[in-house]
Structure 1
Amino acid sequence: MVRPTVARCLAYAAFALVLAPAADARAQLPAATGRQIALSQPAWKLFVPDDYQDRGGVADLLVHFHGDPQTVWNNAAYARLNAVVLTVNYSGLSSAYTGPFTNRRLFGSLLGESLNKLRALDDFSDNLEWDRVGVSSFSAGYGAVREILKQSGYRDQIDGVLAADSLYASTASDGTPLDSQMADYKTYATLAQQGAKTLLFSHSRVLTHTYENTAETGDELLAHLGVAASPVDRDGLGDLRFYREAQSGGFRLWGAEGADGDAHLAHLRYMGEFLRELPLAKVPEPSALMLALPGLAMAAMRRRRRIAEVR
């Protein structure tokens, strides 16, 4: 399925962000801070943002597959997600994610272990339950998501999915993406179109030659839903620039310019552009009064100083 030269280029580019946050992303996104909680596998990281607002006995969860955790946290902060973030990173291409998640129990175990870790913290309820669950992936991370979506129980549990330049497939004899590798994404896309779920899909124009790239799998989803993309010419977050968009119910697609490794990485660096559309709880925007308070406090202090000087 994978042409070695293309695969290596994408792998090296992806691991550059797995290993270290991008400096330019930090310059344009908030630097998220919070608690990192160790899990049973080093590849799994649980993160509670400092601005997380307690919701009593429930919490929202974002599970992200493949990409530097700090970059994911920063983008979640940009999207103002009031959610705990769980990142999963394995070394390798899509098969590194597909393999473990062929175990039908793994995703449930991952969510269960994360929930138990939070229940053990003083500031979370002992009876905490997940409320809304969002799943996102970048690049090779789709290998895990594809396996997870095969299970109807997990499809029911997951409220929204983001594929950030992150769905590839073998080429069928008719030149389209192999249906067996698209079927469960199509099922979820149909549920999204009907308003029961949310499916967000972004793609670049990076060519893969011997298998279907994200633009082509995006075309397949559009054809399945009977939806046509509209041409656009607008900037997104950071380096993202969009040339087409489509929306039908809870399904949304963004087509971005760029056909090199850096264009591919932009979908991770600036995934906050898409994360904000997930149906997860949001941290409330500061009110006009709260924004004005620092200035009012400074003015009051200056006034007191002037009064003291007169006296």
Structure 2
Amino acid sequence: MTLRPLAAWLCLLGIQAAVAAQSPQNPSPMVEHVREHPRLEKSEPSGKRENLTLGKLFVPVAVERSPVSEPVPLVINFHCGDWIPELACSGLASPLPCVTIGLGAGSERYARPFREDPGLFAKLRDEAAKEIGRPVSKLILVGWSAGYGAIREALKNEALIGDIQAVILLDGLHTGYVGGKPGPKESSLETEPMQPFLSFARRAVAGQCKFVYLHSEIFPGTFASTTETADWLIRELGLKRVPVLKWGPMKTQMLGETEAGGLKIQAFAGNSAPDHVDLLHALPEVLHETIQSRESGVEVK
């Protein structure tokens, strides 16, 4: 290549880079044809359903008819719909009652009720216990996508934190960028909103609880991605990702994992809407592994 064509090519490359830097992030593709994206079959498990002050309680028939009067864990699901959490909780070896809360799009919709009323979690727990007919021992909090907003408020609640035995985040933990946009290379994140998750993650590493975080490769562009927030947590904890190539739940493809004590962070391939939904449909398997696993020495009781 002569100097003149080379200079022209470099100039064109520079123009393309400048245009790309100024362009807004495109939305994630709504279809994806490389992976299978299987879906759970929708069904309505047998059991009791009651509306609470916020959300709906489901008590699997095995729990409803149990003669046992011992305290039972309660699974509270945010932005996960109704039937998938119900399938997940009724399908456990020892089924658990669950509450499902859907408040629409955006993490702020989930955060606001619990920020405005810090006693709301305790109220829901007490209402559920009354309907179950047994005391609630511990809380297992599950959030898909925007549902993390409510979980953040729970983790900030000092009166509640000791009752939270496990947190499961399914492709949902975001924050803003310092300056309002991603950097040209490594982005600077607004870290204050993530401090409650970091504190809980430290407790998980110490074996005091469980924290499971599954994320895709979706990059929103206007706020930090789940990959970036996971990377930040891992760095702050002094841990590292282990690159892997293996199958995950619902035929997802796992690319990396980090495990320490009761902490598990897993990265999955895909930047499309179906990849995002894959991790919601993975809930039954993820919940089973979180509750049944004894490898970390932390058992949800």
Q: Does residue 110 of structure 1 match 2:116?
A: no
Please point out which of 140, 148, 153 is paired with 1:147.
Answer: 153
1:46 corresponds to: 57
Gaps of 5+ in 1: 14-21, 120-127, 283-311
Q: Is the 8 A contact 1:134 1:278 kept in 2?
A: no
Between 1:31-40 and 1:58-67, the stretch displaced more is 31-40
Q: Is the 8 A contact 1:62 1:134 kept in 2?
A: yes
Please point out which of 206, 220, 223 is paired with 1:211.
Answer: 223
Q: Is the 8 A contact 2:38 2:250 kept in 1?
A: no
CA deviation string 1:135-173 (max 9, x = no partner)? 110001001001111012211110010011111111135
Amino acid at match of 1:210: T
CA deviation after TM superposition for structure 1 residue 5, in Å: 7.5
CA distance in 2, matches of 1:274, 1:33: 19
Q: Does residue 25 of structure 1 match 2:25?
A: no
Count of aligned pairs: 257
Amino acid at match of 2:289: E
The 3 A distance-change label for structure 1 pair 233 and 111 is: same
CA deviation after TM superposition for structure 1 residue 24, in Å: 2.8
Under a length normalisation based on structure 1, what TM-score does the superposition of the two structures give?
Answer: 0.75
Q: Does residue 55 of structure 1 match 2:68?
A: yes
Amino acid at match of 2:192: S
Please point out which of 82, 85, 99 is paired with 1:86.
Answer: 99
Amino acid at match of 2:58: F
CA deviation after TM superposition for structure 1 residue 270, in Å: 1.4
The secondary structure found in structure 2 opposite 1:238 is helix
Q: Is the 8 A contact 2:227 2:267 kept in 1?
A: yes
Between 1:164-173 and 1:32-41, the stretch displaced more is 32-41
The secondary structure found in structure 2 opposite 1:25 is coil
1:192 corresponds to: 204
Q: What's the RMSD between the two structures over aligned residues?
A: 2.7
Amino acid at match of 2:281: R
Between 1:168-177 and 1:63-72, the stretch displaced more is 168-177
Q: Is the 8 A contact 1:165 1:201 kept in 2?
A: yes
1:227 corresponds to: 239
Q: Is the 8 A contact 1:34 1:47 kept in 2?
A: no
1:1-311 superposed matches below 5 A:
6=27, 24-26=39-41, 31=43, 33-41=45-53, 44-52=55-63, 53-102=66-115, 103-119=117-133, 128-172=134-178, 175-279=187-291
Amino acid at match of 1:118: I
Amino acid at match of 1:189: A
2:298 corresponds to: none
